[in-house]
Structure 1
């Protein structure tokens, strides 16, 4: 690498690379005859069309990543850092255009788009430190004249599969640290977010001067490639973000082929509001936790548990808050709740709400469903046995549940197969921490939302919410391996 950033072939507003595969440093069509149509979830217009990648394209991408990684190994760590600094500047300079892509492709509101871009910038800045953190250690030995050296090395090649909800960030969350740790990467974005979760990231790193082939983006569908992305011999780590059902399959295939699966999966997060909580703060935090990006966030608060002494006050204020949220065109800066990603998700959520009502839930607020728009909905009289309490509801539907004792609240919160995030609202901060320690979940926030991700704090879940941790040192650990090399400086004495 000569240290000079390449000239971007197009802006991220509109251009052919967004509609092509990015393999071995080239923008090209996929080898399959099938065309993937990327649609705007709000109005159904076509955002882009891609000829999808086939198994041969997957092979080309992985082989390119493996070759380019050897070149990347020879680049000075400070020069590697410069690539990430350029990537940061590129995102900052094209912020407005990226916002428009997020709005058009994902149905994300402008508020959501800015939130996601902020997360991406922080992740790029953190990944920029990784080349300078590939530290080794020298350890003592019980054997005279011997030293033990421990080297931190890249795993080699990483396969990344990203989801449709926060694809720009959730792709970058694995891609940037994996590159920063010295690996080659092949990224497969979700078919509903091929630009924001895929080709946009390829464009950013191409413009930043990343060696050709080190990052590859393949846009395809599982029926076209089967398990080829997982089974290819090149990747040593498969980083998957998505549903728990698919994550289980990814893990099974990866382990069968002696690859390390890194899984960030679904959630069914609980927010606990104690009797001494600041109710207005709790209502605002609950609304943000449930309705941000239409509830299509794995950390969203599906279950809001409120002490019976303040339940009626909280419920009245929460319903009023939900009713006040503007639903509609995400291009409108006043819109808070835009469309769900597709009709399949909309229909599934509507069916789940109907099932909850049939099981005995009461509708405190019923949002109108219009196309992929699903208005905020609030259910009360919900019990732990109901489907709406046990399944992840990936949409703007909240369940309110009263409780009488803290032990009861903890039991309800833990009565789920998931364990990603959570929140506790109380004026007694340390008491809130003690309750948080009892929750079987990877993350809990006191007097705040359930939705948080920071670049240096370990992020991950328990139970069916996945395994492994990302961010900061944890990402460095996940995308590297340790090698022990011992050096004997004298004449070793052997017993025979």
Structure 2
């Protein structure tokens, strides 16, 4: 068992109140690490340290920051096995999903190497004779990042790499269920040459210290991944204090399968879309709409494939399903399944438990009075619904407060493009799973699924701000409008 400490100013710092909590391995709820229960004092110290480091290093050349990111990519590639082990043991990632995270982290770092040289402005024609006018992008100062338990490496790398690449300092508050990855990131950035104080980590309960971090007067920008409820709360704090922010929140993502779809590909995409990492993914296809003429055929094929989805040893490459992260989340998954059963839904596959693992579950006949109809389960549970036309499929797909990802399977290009244009989602995939991400794309959702976008291009909006600068000869007249 490891005992963590806060990472502030380039080194380990003990909890100010001496209090620690247990980080549990979700396979059997054994203690994996001991973690400091951060306080407002710890947060204030981290932010003040970050701000002073930002003032000291804000004018470093782009080549220096580029060097940190390039070195971090080398270290990340060297240490992928170490990061994967933590993802398996701390958050119950099957090794295939842990491998996806580590590969994405390396890819994101490589994509971010060029960011320091892309922080550009432009020259602007002036209405005043003899005046030179231009715009600059400058770092905002201190960026606060809050990461989730399900993809702590992907989000930790995304947030911190972009903050550092754009000349900012960074303070990370990781999920209390996934603190160890943050410790590895601190050591990665230290080895990569990032000056002390530019990357900091405070551990603790987000409900207790999150507002201290997001509301701190020296935090200029916030990037958060988590629930829609907490995201709305953070948005209120940011709005009151006029801070920049990006929110990547929950989802109830629809997967639409038309009668002309390649059935085998649609079944495989549906399996991956909802059961990867036991459904604990915001882009999970928890609503699958199938054209009525092939509904029974798809339901039979999908239920059969689902019954073969393997759980068990997390380091076995063919394992798809691992444990649900916590007892609170297990209760939520059980409640959704039991409520649907009690109100008449048919369980086509799954619905059973083995320890902390829930089998891949497919429901049919879900109606609006069932909890699972509207709420995000965040577990290996999906529901099948029939539709008769593309218009109906769109209406059903858009009938949710969420709008993160959506997917359609069809050979009809007109249908595909119509769906892509009219689906109320931040991301739409054609003949592909709902679950996909790449470093350089504008990743994010609409409605209750988020605000703003992530990515090596999109993040410039919250990591930098525009400044307008004009110059006129000291000997020229002070012209005006």
Length-normalised TM-score, structure 2 = 0.97
Partner of 2:307, secondary structure, is helix
1:99 aligns with 2:84: yes
Of the structure 1 ranges 114-123 and 414-423, higher mean CA displacement relative to structure 2 is found in 114-123
Partner of 1:461: 445
- After TM superposition, give the deviation of residue 148 of structure 1 in Å: 1.2
Of the structure 1 ranges 215-224 and 303-312, higher mean CA displacement relative to structure 2 is found in 215-224
Cα deviation digits, residues 19-52 of structure 1 (max 9, x gap): 1110011112111232111111002222110222
Partner of 2:51: 66
- After TM superposition, give the deviation of residue 223 of structure 1 in Å: 5.2
Q: 2:432 aligns with which of 438, 442, 448?
A: 448
Q: Provide the C-alpha distance between the structure 1 equivalents of 2:209 and 2:429, rounded to a whole number of angstroms.
A: 40
Q: Is the 8 A contact 2:128 2:480 kept in 1?
A: no
- After TM superposition, give the deviation of residue 464 of structure 1 in Å: 0.3
Partner of 1:301, secondary structure, is coil
Size of the aligned set, in residue pairs, is 479
Partner of 2:17: 32
Output aligned runs, 1:287-306, within 5 Å. 287-306=271-290
Q: 1:22 to 1:373 in 2, by over 3 A?
A: same
Output aligned runs, 1:93-172, within 5 Å. 93-172=78-157
Q: Is the 8 A contact 1:383 1:401 kept in 2?
A: no
1:247 aligns with 2:250: no
Partner of 2:459, secondary structure, is helix
Of the structure 1 ranges 121-130 and 264-273, higher mean CA displacement relative to structure 2 is found in 121-130
Q: Provide the C-alpha distance between the structure 2 equivalents of 1:32 and 1:297, rounded to a whole number of angstroms.
A: 34
Q: Provide the C-alpha distance between the structure 2 equivalents of 1:226 and 1:411, rounded to a whole number of angstroms.
A: 37
Partner of 1:211, secondary structure, is coil
- After TM superposition, give the deviation of residue 343 of structure 1 in Å: 1.1
Output aligned runs, 1:65-464, within 5 Å. 65-196=50-181, 198-222=182-206, 224-225=208-209, 227-464=211-448
Q: Provide the C-alpha distance between the structure 2 equivalents of 1:430 and 1:479, rounded to a whole number of angstroms.
A: 38
Q: Provide the C-alpha distance between the structure 1 equivalents of 2:365 and 2:393, rounded to a whole number of angstroms.
A: 15
Partner of 1:3: none
Contiguous gaps of at least 5 residues in structure 1:
1-13
Q: Is the 8 A contact 1:24 1:60 kept in 2?
A: no
1:491 aligns with 2:477: yes
Partner of 2:39: 54
Q: Provide the C-alpha distance between the structure 1 equivalents of 2:374 and 2:424, rounded to a whole number of angstroms.
A: 15
- After TM superposition, give the deviation of residue 463 of structure 1 in Å: 0.4
Of the structure 1 ranges 424-433 and 444-453, higher mean CA displacement relative to structure 2 is found in 424-433
User: Deviating runs (4+, > 4 A) in structure 1?
Assistant: none
Cα deviation digits, residues 242-274 of structure 1 (max 9, x gap): 000111111111211221221110000000000
- After TM superposition, give the deviation of residue 282 of structure 1 in Å: 0.2
Length-normalised TM-score, structure 1 = 0.94
Partner of 1:238, secondary structure, is strand
Cα deviation digits, residues 270-325 of structure 1 (max 9, x gap): 00000100000000000000100000010010100000111111111101111001
Of the structure 1 ranges 273-282 and 214-223, higher mean CA displacement relative to structure 2 is found in 214-223
1:22 aligns with 2:7: yes
Q: Is the 8 A contact 2:246 2:452 kept in 1?
A: yes
Q: Provide the C-alpha distance between the structure 1 equivalents of 2:376 and 2:210, rounded to a whole number of angstroms.
A: 26
Q: Provide the C-alpha distance between the structure 2 equivalents of 1:176 and 1:494, rounded to a whole number of angstroms.
A: 42
Cα deviation digits, residues 306-360 of structure 1 (max 9, x gap): 0011111111110111100111231333321000111110111110111122333
